[in-house]
């Protein structure tokens, strides 16, 4: 009980979704919202993707007045200023005083010892050992270590003041000239000079002659040169010792001040103002076909950085309105009242909506993939040719496959337009996908076998390649062979991908939306199908009738270029509803008893009408698809059950209503359904003919088609008079072959021949087709239209 209740709820919900118009509005709003959201991040700034030497793909004008900074020129100017700033060196003027103080302090220690020794005993020399004890203290004060030999030489000289004075004189001469720690670095500034700043004061001077300063090694050499005149009168050992001490006591008094130099460089850079260009409103920044130069690239970069006039909310609203009204207009003008979409309208629109969302998702995903692999491409995704590989034509192929070529064209317009919006509103993207899609749809509109999809895929790949070349020649001022080759390869692969995707999606869509394709029709045409087997076993007469109807329908459909496969399958299954009450149809009455003899005419009519409803129910149970179900519903149209209607009139019932004896319809809506109706009537009537000669068959076919035509049963399908003529010729050929004359073998019992003849003349009673002329007295029920299609089928 609970399970049935849940099934009923699901069924009601499904019926509501497939019938209410609010679902269509919900889908439109949802698609508009999703598409606007995907476009939202792209509206925050204007962007361009060009490099120096590229060719402009479109004109670009300034939307407002603004200034452009030439960042490269400004950088170059700042580098020039940096190069012009002189390095700052510090001059330590107190270094000489410090060294002199150290010399005096160190010499004073041994001099004090000599002084004390002389005061105690003028005649007694001071022992060396006592002076050696003060050597560490001497070295500490002097700042350097000396050997015992050097210390002994100074001891012999009694650490005289004259020696210390000579040392200070030589050092002073060297330091006065200046010693720099790294003369190689200093000489790099030879062209612009340096700033020499005295430590401890604000005094500074510019020095351009940098060669005058000594390096450490050069200073040591100069000690010997400067000391030569000063030391010429003293002994050799003491002279060498003084030179060695001077060389070791010397220190650089000119050092590079990096912090001060960098500070002055930054101050100089800060004085440089940006180099600006003024751009006026409407000024042409770039013309289509021009080669990008340095100045134009600077302007484009500034336009990206400064032009922010796009309001995100306003821009998103514009995208939403364009999407909303584009879909709405196409729907109202071309899809709302389209004949193909009248039945299960919401289902078809849902299929189109899901296809639109799915393939726009493919396109958007492709942009994300391209941007992740090439971040620079985010500036102008439309300038890249990778879009040609996206299988957008597959959507048009699928729509054409299930809903027809004209609907595929309208769908392609919307899909191509929205895809071009994804690619920066690029017109070339629209042209490529529109032409590619409608061409792909055209190539699959008639032939729906799997191999034909592959053939169409290769044809589409070649067409896409030519289209890619055409767009390349149009968009590139100077076509690049590498770029064109890449575009052709991508376009070729895109065609193959489209066909592959169509083959993969087609069975899934068949299952989800209960559509019928040629592939499914081929499966249903297999005579091992369960319903066909049931007909063969349970209702062999109906089975035989259905086989002949299918044969007639297939041949007639082929003669007028309709779908022979669809007509044949409709013929196989048009009478499956007779399985419910098979013995009430004369072709299944093997015992010769007619069940309708015990029923009132109105009840018999209800039984005959009921087989249509039962057939629709069986077809839905076995999931045969809408086209077969519609064929079952329409194969009688709204035709009159004449036999029982006349029988009811003859019974004296004055309240008989003709509509109670008509099938509920609808009338055939397609050429194939119309053909099945004609084949059904003709087969049943010709089967009832006595001695069906070619002339009698031809006359009966003509009469029946005239009656159906006059009754208005064919007015809603697209069968023309020329088609009816070809159908009649096809019926005549096949029926004449089926009911050809045979040699009549003599029977020993003449009475039995008369009995068979009588039975044959009564075969039309109680069936759903009353075809014998004598059972249709015309005076009591004149036809609505006296139109007579003369020479029909001749």
Pairing of strands 87-91, 254-256: antiparallel
Residue 285 has pLDDT above 50, yes or no: yes
Min mean pLDDT across 401-415, 512-526, 562-576, 691-705 is at: 512-526
Going by C-alpha positions, the residue among 400, 112, 82, 438 that lies closest to residue 266 is 82
Region 581-587 average pLDDT:
86
Band of pLDDT at residue 770, cut at 50, 70 and 90:
very low
Q: What is the pLDDT of residue 492?
A: 95
pLDDT (tens digit, 9 = 90+) per residue, 456-501?
999 999 999 999 999 888 876 566 788 888 889 999 999 999 999 9
Residues 498, 457: contact at Cβ < 8 Å? yes
Residue 776 has pLDDT above 50, yes or no: no
Residues 440, 393: contact at Cβ < 8 Å? yes
Residue 652 has pLDDT above 90, yes or no: no
d(CA 306, CA 297): 14
pLDDT (tens digit, 9 = 90+) per residue, 377-391?
444 444 456 789 999
Q: What is the pLDDT of residue 771?
A: 38
Residue 635 has pLDDT above 90, yes or no: yes
pLDDT (tens digit, 9 = 90+) per residue, 190-208?
888 888 888 888 888 888 8
Band of pLDDT at residue 767, cut at 50, 70 and 90:
very low
Region 182-187 average pLDDT:
86
Band of pLDDT at residue 596, cut at 50, 70 and 90:
confident
Region 361-390 average pLDDT:
68
Band of pLDDT at residue 290, cut at 50, 70 and 90:
confident
Q: What is the pLDDT of residue 121?
A: 73
Residue 164 has pLDDT above 60, yes or no: yes
pLDDT (tens digit, 9 = 90+) per residue, 72-88?
788 888 888 888 888 89
User: Which percentage of the chain shows pLDDT scores above 90?
Assistant: 33
Q: What is the pLDDT of residue 662?
A: 92
Region 723-728 average pLDDT:
94
pTM, two decimals, is: 0.60
Residues 508, 544: contact at Cβ < 8 Å? no
Region 497-517 average pLDDT:
89
Element (H, E) at 322: helix 312-330
Q: What is the pLDDT of residue 758?
A: 45
Q: What is the pLDDT of residue 440?
A: 95
Residue 779 has pLDDT above 90, yes or no: no
Residue 304 has pLDDT above 80, yes or no: no
Band of pLDDT at residue 780, cut at 50, 70 and 90:
very low
Q: What is the pLDDT of residue 781?
A: 45
Region 552-572 average pLDDT:
94
Region 495-522 average pLDDT:
88
Residue 182 tokens, joined: 């790294």
Going by C-alpha positions, the residue among 466, 400, 483 that lies closest to residue 432 is 466
Q: What is the pLDDT of residue 761?
A: 45
Region 208-229 average pLDDT:
88
Q: What is the pLDDT of residue 226?
A: 85
Please work out, in degrees rounded to the nearest 5, the angle formed at the alpha carbon of residue 389 by the alpha carbons of 384 and 391: 135
Residues 676, 553: contact at Cβ < 8 Å? yes
Residue 625 has pLDDT above 60, yes or no: yes
Residues 421, 319: contact at Cβ < 8 Å? yes
Q: What is the pLDDT of residue 459?
A: 94
d(CA 66, CA 279): 5
Q: What is the pLDDT of residue 567?
A: 95
585 CB-contact burial (10 Å; exposed 0-12 / middle 13-18 / buried 19+): buried
Residue 311 has pLDDT above 70, yes or no: no
Residue 101 has pLDDT above 50, yes or no: yes
User: Which percentage of the chain shows pLDDT scores above 70?
Assistant: 86
Q: What is the pLDDT of residue 633?
A: 94
Region 736-748 average pLDDT:
69
Q: Who has greater pLDDT, 130 or 706?
A: 706
Band of pLDDT at residue 783, cut at 50, 70 and 90:
very low
pLDDT (tens digit, 9 = 90+) per residue, 30-62?
999 999 888 875 444 455 667 888 887 777 777
Q: What is the pLDDT of residue 457?
A: 92
Give the three-class secondary structure for 60: strand
Q: What is the mean pLDDT of the chain?
A: 83
Kindly report the three-state secondary structure assignment for every residue of 343-376.
CCHHHHHHHHHHHHHHHHHHHHHHHHHHHHHCHH
Give the three-class secondary structure for 29: helix
Residue 530 tokens, joined: 């369960």
User: What is the number of H-type helices and E-type strands within the chain?
Assistant: 31, 8
pLDDT (tens digit, 9 = 90+) per residue, 637-647?
999 998 888 88
Q: What is the pLDDT of residue 308?
A: 53
Residue 549 has pLDDT above 60, yes or no: yes
Band of pLDDT at residue 449, cut at 50, 70 and 90:
low
Band of pLDDT at residue 522, cut at 50, 70 and 90:
confident
pLDDT (tens digit, 9 = 90+) per residue, 239-255?
888 888 898 888 898 89
Q: What is the pLDDT of residue 784?
A: 44
**Alpha carbon distances (Å) from 375 to 44, 303, 346:** 17, 19, 42
């Amino acid at each position: 009980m609970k399970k049935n209740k849940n099934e009923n709820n699901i069924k009601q919900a499904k019926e509501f979704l497939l019938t209410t118009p609010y679902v269509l509005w919900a889908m439109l709003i949802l698609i508009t919202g999703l598409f606007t959201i995907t476009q939202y991040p792209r509206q925050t700034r204007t962007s361009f993707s060009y490099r120096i030497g590229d060719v402009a793909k479109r004109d670009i004008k300034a939307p407002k007045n603004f200034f452009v900074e030439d960042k490269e020129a400004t950088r170059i100017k700042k580098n020039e200023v940096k190069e012009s700033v002189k390095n700052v060196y510090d001059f330590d003027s107190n270094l000489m005083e410090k060294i002199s103080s150290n010399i005096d302090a160190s010499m004073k220690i041994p001099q004090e010892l000599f002084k004390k020794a002389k005061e105690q005993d003028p005649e007694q020399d001071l022992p060396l050992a006592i002076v050696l004890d003060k050597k560490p203290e001497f070295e500490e004060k002097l700042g350097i270590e000396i050997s015992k030999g050097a210390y002994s030489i100074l001891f012999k000289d009694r650490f005289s003041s004259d020696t210390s004075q000579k040392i200070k004189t030589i050092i002073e001469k060297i330091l006065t000239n200046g010693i720099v720690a790294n003369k190689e670095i200093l000489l790099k500034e030879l062209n612009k000079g340096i700033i020499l700043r005295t430590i401890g004061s604000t005094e500074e001077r510019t020095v351009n002659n940098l060669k005058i300063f000594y390096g450490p090694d050069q200073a040591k050499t100069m000690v010997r040169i400067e000391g030569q005149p000063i030391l010429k009168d003293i002994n050799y050992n003491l002279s060498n010792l003084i030179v060695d001490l001077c060389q070791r006591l010397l220190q650089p008094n000119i050092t590079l001040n990096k912090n001060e130099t960098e500070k002055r460089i930054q101050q100089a850079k800060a004085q440089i103002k940006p180099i600006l260009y003024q751009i006026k409103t409407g000024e042409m920044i770039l013309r289509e076909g021009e080669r990008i130069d340095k100045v134009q690239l600077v302007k484009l970069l500034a336009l990206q950085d400064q032009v922010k006039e796009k309001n995100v909310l306003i821009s998103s609203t514009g995208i939403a309105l364009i999407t909303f009204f584009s879909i709405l207009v196409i729907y109202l003008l071309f899809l709302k009242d389209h004949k193909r979409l009248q039945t299960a309208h919401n289902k078809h629109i849902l299929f189109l909506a899901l296809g639109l969302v799915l393939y726009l998702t493919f396109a958007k995903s492709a942009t994300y993939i391209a941007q992740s692999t090439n971040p620079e491409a985010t500036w102008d995704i439309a300038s890249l040719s990778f879009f040609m590989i996206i299988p957008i034509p597959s959507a048009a192929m699928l729509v054409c496959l299930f809903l027809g070529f004209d609907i595929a064209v309208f769908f392609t317009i919307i899909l191509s337009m929205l895809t071009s919006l994804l690619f920066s509103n690029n017109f070339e993207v629209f042209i490529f996908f529109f032409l590619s899609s409608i061409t792909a749809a055209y190539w699959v509109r008639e032939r729906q076998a799997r191999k034909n999809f592959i053939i169409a895929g290769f044809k589409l790949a070649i067409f896409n390649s030519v289209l890619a070349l055409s767009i390349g020649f149009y968009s590139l001022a100077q076509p690049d062979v590498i770029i064109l080759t890449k575009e052709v390869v991508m376009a070729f692969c895109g065609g193959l991908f489209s066909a592959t995707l169509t083959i993969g999606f087609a069975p899934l869509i068949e299952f989800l939306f209960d559509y019928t394709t040629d592939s499914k029709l081929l499966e249903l045409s297999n005579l091992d199908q369960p319903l066909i087997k049931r007909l063969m076993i349970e209702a062999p007469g109906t089975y035989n009738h259905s086989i002949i109807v299918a044969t007639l329908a297939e041949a007639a459909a082929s003669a007028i270029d309709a779908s022979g496969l669809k007509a044949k399958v409709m013929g196989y299954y048009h009478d499956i509803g007779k399985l419910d009450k098979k013995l009430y149809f004369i072709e299944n009455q093997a015992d010769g008893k007619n069940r309708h003899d015990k029923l009132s005419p109105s009840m018999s009519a209800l039984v005959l009408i009921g087989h249509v409803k039962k057939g629709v129910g069986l077809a839905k149970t076995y999931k045969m698809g809408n086209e077969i179900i519609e064929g079952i519903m329409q194969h009688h149209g709204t035709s009159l059950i004449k036999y029982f209607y006349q029988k009811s009139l003859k019974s004296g019932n004055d309240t008989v209503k003709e509509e109670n004896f008509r099938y509920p319809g609808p009338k055939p809506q397609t050429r194939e359904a119309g053909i099945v109706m004609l084949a059904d009537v003709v087969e049943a009537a010709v089967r009832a003919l006595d001695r069906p000669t070619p002339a009698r068959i031809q006359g009966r076919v003509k009469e029946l088609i005239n009656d159906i035509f006059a009754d208005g049963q064919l007015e809603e399908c697209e069968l023309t008079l020329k088609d009816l003529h070809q159908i009649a010729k096809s019926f005549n050929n096949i029926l004449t072959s089926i009911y050809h004359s045979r040699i009549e073998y003599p029977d020993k019992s003449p009475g039995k021949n008369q009995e068979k003849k009588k039975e044959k003349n009564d075969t039309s009673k109680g069936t759903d087709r009353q075809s014998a002329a004598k059972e249709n007295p015309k005076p009591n029920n004149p036809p609505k239209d006296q139109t007579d299609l003369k020479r029909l089928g001749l």
